[in-house]
Structure 1
Amino acid sequence: MNDKKADIFNCGKVLFSSKGFKDTNVSDITKMAGIGVGTFYNYYSSKEKLFMEIFLEENVKLKKSIMESLDLNEEPLKTVKELMLLNVNGMNSNPILREWYNRDVFSKLEQHYREENGIKHVDFLYHSFLELIKKWQMEGKMRDDIDCELIMAIFTALINIDTHKEEIGIQYFPQILDYLAEFVMKGLTDDQK
């Protein structure tokens, strides 16, 4: 029985990667998986639900890969800049994760997922970075008068700026993100000169 769910998941991943979310429908997935449409709904309530499950798995893989590649003994500014660069490159190179930038699609998906699963299940960050922030605070490398959850929200805001690069000015975007990361980190590390 779990094999059918895995087949649906894997076929959905292949089709979402090659055709995108909008151009993939449930019948495409079931045809590729060799099952009936009704069987799909035994495992997933909607195409959106399947996509979000795939998206979250891909996002976790990317974040884990990023955390494993970082030198966590580097200074916070260098670490955060590297993390942001790796995140943007990883999001852009993965067709599933790239749907994040299609705000028309993704805002609807996110809203649908929140309604079905609650806000706690839409956590695109990862706890190991939160632990790193706590470590930096204990070592005096980062301000400890700001709650680590609020610092995570600041980093989330920085990452979300990427979805507005056309409005900001795409010709300035990479430099803006880099400078904003630097300014934020200097403010968080009391390294204001």
Structure 2
Amino acid sequence: MHFVYDRVVSEQSRIASGRTDRRALLLSVGRTLFERNGYRGVSVEQVTRRAGLSAGTFYNYFSGKEAFYSSVLDEIEAEGIRKANQIVQRLHSPMNKLRALYRFITLGLRQNPILKGIFLGKAEYRFPGATERSARRDGLRPHLERMVDEIIREGTRKGVFRASLYHNTTAMVTAVFDAVILHVEDDNAEELFADLLTFLQRGLRRALHLRRRDERRDRRLLGEASDWI
């Protein structure tokens, strides 16, 4: 009797695994097509044909193209949240955490056409549910904003940041993030990025001539800033 039960459970597991694999395949194919052609330039038929699956299989997992696109975005943003958390958790210095987040955003947008298109408001990446999605608080951008707020609080608590100089330090830092996003495609984006970081460091840090112990520790353990991500 146990053998029959075990065989049934094993078969159910294989079926569930197959379903997961097919869904993951559709999302992977969809992501590639959306990155290349935008939301408007991709059809459900293109996705299923490239994935080698039927339209019926597609609709077993997604109610339509908009829901499918939203699921692709969910996957991309979840990856971004995991990566941002990993980067920050490795570092000890609040200032280095901000530096790493800035670089993460810059590199992430350059490497991800979908996120870049949405953040920059490009027409080809807009979709009907964009307004509702932007109001959600569980996405990548709200998560990054909360991380910035926590880092500012940590830096203020440790005496690294002089946050009392500003009316709203987190809003100021977030505005600098927005400047990075808006100019990420510029030819001189790297120079702008470096200048904004210098501006931020000089504006926030209490003692410019001192290298904080946590910053030295990060460099000793993890190398230079370019190695953190």
The residue aligned with 1:103 is 121
Figure out how many residues of one structure are paired with residues of the other and give that number.
Answer: 186
Q: For 2:124 and 2:157, how far apart are their aligned partners in 1?
A: 37
Q: Residue by residue, what CA displacement relative to the aligned partner does 1:116-163 show, whole Å, maximum 9, x if unpaired?
A: 68432444234555433332222122245489xx54443433233234
The residue aligned with 2:130 is 113
Shift in Å at residue 13 of structure 1? 2.1
The residue aligned with 1:59 is 77
Shift in Å at residue 183 of structure 1? 1.8
The residue aligned with 1:132 is 151
Q: Tell me: CA distance 1:139–1:98, structure 2 relative to 1, closer, same or farther (3 Å).
A: same
Q: Residue by residue, what CA displacement relative to the aligned partner does 1:35-68 show, whole Å, maximum 9, x if unpaired?
A: 32x6645644543443343234323323433443
Q: For 1:186 and 1:47, how far apart are their aligned partners in 2?
A: 47
TM-score, normalised to structure 1, is: 0.68
Aligned equivalent of 1:158, options 162, 176, 201? 176
Is 2:190 the partner of 1:174? yes
- Whether contact under 8 Å (2:80, 2:140) holds in the other structure is no
Higher alpha-carbon deviation: 153-162 or 114-123? 114-123
Q: Which of 1 and 2 has greater Rg?
A: 2
Shift in Å at residue 88 of structure 1? 1.0
Mind listing any 5+ residue stretches in structure 1 that lack a counterpart?
Answer: none
TM-score, normalised to structure 2, is: 0.59
- Whether contact under 8 Å (2:94, 2:154) holds in the other structure is no
Give the percent of matched residue pairs that are identical in Structure 1 and Structure 2: 20
Q: For 2:58 and 2:198, how far apart are their aligned partners in 1?
A: 47
Aligned equivalent of 1:21, options 39, 42, 60? 39
Q: Tell me: CA distance 1:186–1:159, structure 2 relative to 1, closer, same or farther (3 Å).
A: same
Shift in Å at residue 24 of structure 1? 1.6
Q: Residue by residue, what CA displacement relative to the aligned partner does 1:149-179 show, whole Å, maximum 9, x if unpaired?
A: x54443433233234328xx93443222322
